[in-house]
Structure 1
Amino acid sequence: MKYLLPSVTALALALPGMAAAHPHIFAEARLEVVAADDGSISELRHVWRFDEVFSSSVLLDFDQNTNLKLDEAELAELGEIMRASLADFDYFTTISVDGKSAAIVKPDAIHVSFEENQILIFFAVRPEAPLPLKGKLAFGVYDPSMYTAIDFPTDEDLVAQGKAADACQRQVVRPDPDEIIAQNSETLTEAFFEDPSGNDMSKLFATRLELTC
């Protein structure tokens, strides 16, 4: 499958080593961190809009009936392949509580649409274990392979919803990669840049929403 569908496997870094230089795929994103009434995080809702070049390559790969659009069945197939492939990269989602990483579970589905020549995907992930709004929590989105650049156009594209979140202080952090590398030169080894997905350092580079509760 990964050889038949190069654009999707690129998204999931099925071509190791190519990502080290710079991003090849670009997406604008929105992240909604949803708090439940019991004071815990219920889910993280993602929306990604991919660039037209990548979207066009996906259209070529998945337009099986060559009608120059993606039908419902074709979109569903694309969503299932993304759901399976991105699992190896935790769906580009990082969660930390007081500096310690928290795991997520696989989304029930990834919904895909094709609008104005661009691929949009919608999905939600949940914390694997109960995650109360206590301490300093950070929610980030970053491709550890560095193949895909996820951009939040404005700080308002990272939001926290729910009454329990209203009591927390909110900050959007946009790290400077050069500063991160300089500050962590002893930790960021050559192995990180050869296979950044194989470690836990990618959260340092993630644009993230921080909540202090």
Structure 2
Amino acid sequence: MKTRRLAMAGLAMLLSPTLAAAHPHIFAEARLEIVSDDKGEIGELRNVWRFDEMFSASVVLDFDKNANATLDPDELQEVGQTVLESLAEYDYYTTILDNGKSVKVNPPDKITVDYKDNQLLMMFAVTPAEAMPLKGKLSFGVYDPTMYTAMDFPTDNDLTVIGDKIEACKHQVVRPDPDEVLAENKDTLTDAFWNDPTGTNMSKLFATRIELTC
């Protein structure tokens, strides 16, 4: 039961979403660091997610085996492993565009989980599934395609680049206005999108992202 809950409660989904129902039930503050390597390619994407207290409390209820109202190291490890397995289907909420082409990510080695100040923290790094030279226009974001979890970057500095080569690229944070997105894409948002945004993968249009021009 607890595996299903984490796998499908926002860190996947509780319900089959429709646009009417697909509004956030779980809230997380995120940080994303895009790191370049010595070859002038994207090396890894480092993530930190801090979840709201209500969702965090539900995870404690599910995984607190010894009923001490917190999560011990072995329980935190179990949470991390559950999320690692659950989010593979959703590419760990990572969206990457390499000159307009979608790029998948390799699964992280592990997801480190902590519980502080009544909030669940998750930290992990993913790598692009194919080589990504720092050329042209690159885009990186974190979003839940089910629209069940709201991934919020509190400041533009929470979307950042690390490395001499990538820092030489022009970069900007884009925070789409939902009304403008709908207006600009009304002819391409089909009935499939309105009935199941996940199926069309168009919900990424609403995602906060960092865009690089190299």
* TM-score, structure 2 as length reference: 0.94
Cα distance in 1 for partners of 2:124, 2:200 equals: 24
**1:72-123 deviation digits (Å, cap 9, x = unpaired):** 1111111011111111111111000121111111111111000000000001
In structure 2, what residue type is equivalent to 1:150?
Answer: M
Cα distance in 2 for partners of 1:21, 1:138 equals: 24
The Cα of 1:9 is off from its aligned counterpart by: 2.2
**Counterpart in 1 of 2:35?**
34
**Counterpart in 1 of 2:97?**
96
- Relative to structure 1, the CA distance from residue 190 to residue 18 in structure 2 (aligned partners, 3 Å threshold; closer, same or farther) is closer
Report the 3-state secondary structure (helix = DSSP H, G, I; strand = E; otherwise coil) of the residue aligned with 2:211: strand
Structure 2 unaligned blocks of 5 or more = none
- Relative to structure 1, the CA distance from residue 8 to residue 56 in structure 2 (aligned partners, 3 Å threshold; closer, same or farther) is farther
Report the 3-state secondary structure (helix = DSSP H, G, I; strand = E; otherwise coil) of the residue aligned with 1:75: helix
- Are 2:183 and 1:182 aligned? yes
Cα distance in 1 for partners of 2:203, 2:133 equals: 23
**RMSD of aligned alpha carbons:** 1.5
Q: Percent identity?
A: 59
- Relative to structure 1, the CA distance from residue 8 to residue 68 in structure 2 (aligned partners, 3 Å threshold; closer, same or farther) is farther
Moved over 6 A (4+): none
Cα distance in 2 for partners of 1:151, 1:76 equals: 25
Structure 1 unaligned blocks of 5 or more = none
**Counterpart in 1 of 2:137?**
136
Q: Which one is further off, 198-207 or 178-187?
A: 198-207
Report the 3-state secondary structure (helix = DSSP H, G, I; strand = E; otherwise coil) of the residue aligned with 2:9: helix
Report the 3-state secondary structure (helix = DSSP H, G, I; strand = E; otherwise coil) of the residue aligned with 2:113: strand
In structure 1, what residue type is equivalent to 2:33?
Answer: E
* TM-score, structure 1 as length reference: 0.94
The Cα of 1:178 is off from its aligned counterpart by: 1.4
Cα distance in 2 for partners of 1:71, 1:41 equals: 35
Report the 3-state secondary structure (helix = DSSP H, G, I; strand = E; otherwise coil) of the residue aligned with 2:45: strand
**1:149-207 deviation digits (Å, cap 9, x = unpaired):** 00000000000000111210010000011111111111112211332222332321110
